[in-house]
């Protein structure tokens, strides 16, 4: 009796596993779509960064998330900027102390 019930459940278990796999793919696709949407709205390839060091304390602590946007206006003293040093993967977050004309 139990063997026949187990065999009857086999197709349902397979369907459940396929449904769970499709749901995981759906979540991943939605996360990528949200990331790309944020990139388009904020005009930056990386709209979210994580503060990796304590150099920005007390304003930002290690592990804080920063939501970025790219503007065309000049950078002014007191603003926070994120930039990348060539040949590195980790973005640098700093507060602008002084802005100079070229």
What is the total count of domains within the chain?
Answer: 2
Domain range for 68: 44-102
The verdict on 101 and 53 lying in the same domain is yes
**29 and 79 belong to one structural domain:** no
Rounded to 5 degrees, φ, ψ at 12 are -70, -40
Residues in the chain: 102
Question: What pLDDT, in 10s, does the model give residues 24-80?
Answer: 999 999 999 998 998 888 888 878 888 888 888 888 889 888 888 888 888 888 888
Tens-digit pLDDT profile for residues 8-27:
656 678 888 899 999 999 99
Counting residues of the chain whose pLDDT is more than 70, the rounded percentage is: 88
Helices (H) and strands (E) in the chain, counts: 1, 4
- Give the pLDDT confidence of 78-95 residue by residue, as tens digits: 888 888 888 887 778 888
* C-alpha–C-alpha distance, residues 68 and 57, integer Å: 18
What is the widest separation between alpha-carbon atoms in the chain?
Answer: 85
DSSP 8-state secondary structure symbol assigned to residue 45 = S
Same domain membership, residue 30 and residue 52: no
Q: Are residues 54 and 93 in the same domain?
A: yes
H or E segment and range at residue 22: helix 2-42
For residue 101, pLDDT over 80 is answered with no
């Amino acid at each position: 009796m139990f063997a026949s019930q187990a065999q009857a459940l086999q197709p349902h278990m397979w369907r459940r596993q396929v449904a769970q796999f499709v749901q995981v793919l759906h979540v991943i696709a939605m996360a990528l779509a949200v990331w790309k949407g944020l990139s388009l709205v904020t005009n930056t390839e990386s709209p979210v960064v994580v503060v990796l060091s304590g150099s920005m304390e007390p304003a930002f602590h290690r592990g804080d998330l920063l939501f970025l946007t790219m503007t065309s206006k000049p950078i002014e003293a007191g603003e926070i900027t994120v930039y990348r040093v060539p040949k590195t993967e980790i973005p640098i977050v700093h507060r602008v102390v002084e802005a100079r004309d070229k």
